[in-house]
């Protein structure tokens, strides 16, 4: 029998008191899902979810009586959030599905742990732990699957996917994080058969899952399976085998540049054609934020002329310059080290200095200042005295041109 040490949660301020309020000593409340899975894998995590026999209104009342902040975050679906020392803990009443439409489920409450486990997606996510004894309850072989690094749907994969089409993308994300290849044949084939069903999902949900997958250390092997299986065709058809090669190049350059936390947005940019217009279309379709859209479009646009990484950063900003260097093998990867932590210099002259050289205030001053900025950058950002000489020469050339 698997058992978790209570030291994993007993020292969390107020947690054991919360469990007692929810009747853990009577067996009515258990730790569930990701926390149990991660602790079994010796992965440290902060989030703890609880499952309980108690109905949501009873949970709310018990928390109120105990002076614990309670928020009805998803009370229509049985979830109440308790806030302990600023940290949220979701408490969900045991449920069974009555009907589903592939996006949302109609549920009914139950007091049967196995029924609650049966409506979850994967065996490794349907593990429960007694908060008093640490005993792990496993109804569908999740412990063995964890041991053998298998990601399997609970029951019939096609039925699980029909209940929520997003489970296709979740399957591949969990396979990337917890699984080993080759994948479970039944799961993979069900995902391929049902790929078109994802067209019914909101683009926000698709983007959220895709970006979570791309944020993992090495998503490339599983992405290759997804491309081969046509998983992306209905939702992001721009992702291709060529894009996967670009991603592998990017990941290699991330390692060489010692990028601490790679950007999932730039990894997405690597997967799609090197075309700013296409990048903008994909970002819009996935309803990414304006900031993310701009980052993709900028990364897939040709870089401005430059002779050094610092000059590129001066023209684009350090973050955008870093993206360009990572994505483009023709750019020297050592340039990232040259601009990391670099303070982009500011031109030591202003429009007043141009006017002082005899140029009448107006659009010519702005144009000359822009030319000076470019000349100064190409020269390697020399000090003010040298910038003044450059300004004087530019103004002299300007006067000659209008005579």
Among 312, 1, 265, 289, residue whose Cα is nearest residue 133:
1
Q: What is the rounded CA–CA span in Å between residue 9 and residue 27?
A: 17
3: buried, middle or exposed (CB in 10 Å: 19+, 13-18, 0-12)? Answer: exposed
Find out whether 96 and 162 touch, Cβ atoms under 8 Å. Answer: no
Neighbours of 6 (CB within 10 A): 15
pLDDT for position 107: 76
How far apart are the C-alpha atoms of 400 and 403, rounded to whole Å?
5
Enter the tokens of residue 356: 């002082």
Sign of CA dihedral 382, 387, 389, 391: positive
Cα R_g (the chain), whole angstroms: 28
Residues in the chain with pLDDT values less than 70: 99-105, 403
Report whether 354 contacts 368 (CB < 8 A): yes
Tokens of 357: 């050289």
* 181: Cβ contacts below 8 Å, ≥ 6 apart: 175, 221, 222, 225
CATH of 1-148, one of 3.30.460.10, 1.10.3720.10, 3.30.70.1560, 3.40.50.80: 3.30.460.10
H helix runs in 305-362, sequence order: 309-316, 318-327, 335-339, 351-356
Q: Where are the domains of the chain?
A: 1-148, 351-402
pLDDT number for residue 6: 87
The candidate with the shortest Cα–Cα distance to 36, out of 118, 134, 116, 149, is 134
Q: Is the peptide bond before 356 cis (omega within 30 degrees of 0)?
A: no
15 token code pair: 């947690």
Instruction: State the DSSP string of 14-26.
Output: THHHHHHHTTGGG
pLDDT for 399 equals 87
């Amino acid at each position: 029998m698997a058992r978790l040490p209570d030291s994993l949660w007993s020292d969390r301020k107020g947690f054991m008191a919360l469990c007692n309020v929810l009747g853990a000593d009577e067996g009515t409340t258990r730790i569930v899902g990701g926390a149990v899975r991660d602790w079994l894998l010796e992965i440290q995590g902060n989030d703890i979810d609880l499952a309980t026999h108690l109905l949501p209104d009873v949970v709310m009342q018990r928390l109120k009586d105990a002076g614990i902040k309670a928020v009805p975050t998803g009370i229509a679906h049985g979830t109440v959030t308790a806030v302990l020392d600023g940290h949220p803990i979701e408490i969900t009443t045991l449920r069974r599905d009555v009907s589903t439409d592939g996006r949302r489920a109609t549920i009914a409450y139950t007091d049967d742990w196995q029924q609650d486990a049966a409506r979850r997606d994967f065996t490794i996510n349907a593990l429960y732990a007694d908060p008093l004894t640490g005993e792990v309850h496993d109804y569908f072989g999740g412990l063995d699957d964890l041991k053998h690094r298998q990601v399997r749907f609970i029951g019939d994969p096609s039925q699980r996917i029909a209940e929520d089409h997003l489970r296709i993308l979740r399957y591949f994300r969990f396979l990337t994080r917890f699984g080993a290849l080759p994948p479970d044949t039944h799961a993979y084939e069900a995902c391929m058969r049902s790929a078109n069903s994802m067209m019914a999902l909101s683009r926000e949900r698709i983007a959220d899952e895709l970006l979570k997958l791309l944020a993992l250390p090495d998503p490339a092997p599983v992405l290759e399976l997804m491309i081969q299986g046509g998983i992306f065709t209905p939702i992001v058809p721009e992702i291709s085998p060529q894009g996967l090669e670009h991603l592998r190049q990017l990941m290699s350059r991330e390692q060489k540049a010692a990028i601490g936390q790679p950007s999932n947005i730039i990894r997405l940019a690597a997967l799609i054609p090197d075309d700013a217009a296409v990048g903008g279309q994909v970002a819009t379709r996935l309803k990414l934020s304006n900031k993310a859209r701009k980052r993709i479009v900028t990364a897939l646009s040709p870089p401005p002329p430059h002779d050094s990484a610092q000059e590129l950063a001066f023209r684009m900003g350090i973050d955008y310059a870093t993206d360009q260097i990572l994505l483009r093998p023709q750019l020297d990867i050592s340039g990232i080290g040259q601009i990391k932590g670099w303070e982009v210099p500011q031109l030591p002259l202003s429009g007043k200095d141009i006017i002082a050289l005899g140029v009448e205030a107006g659009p010519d001053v702005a144009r000359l200042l822009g030319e000076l900025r470019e000349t100064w950058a190409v020269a390697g950002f020399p000090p003010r005295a040298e910038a003044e000489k450059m300004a004087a020469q530019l103004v002299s050339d300007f006067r000659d041109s209008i005579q």
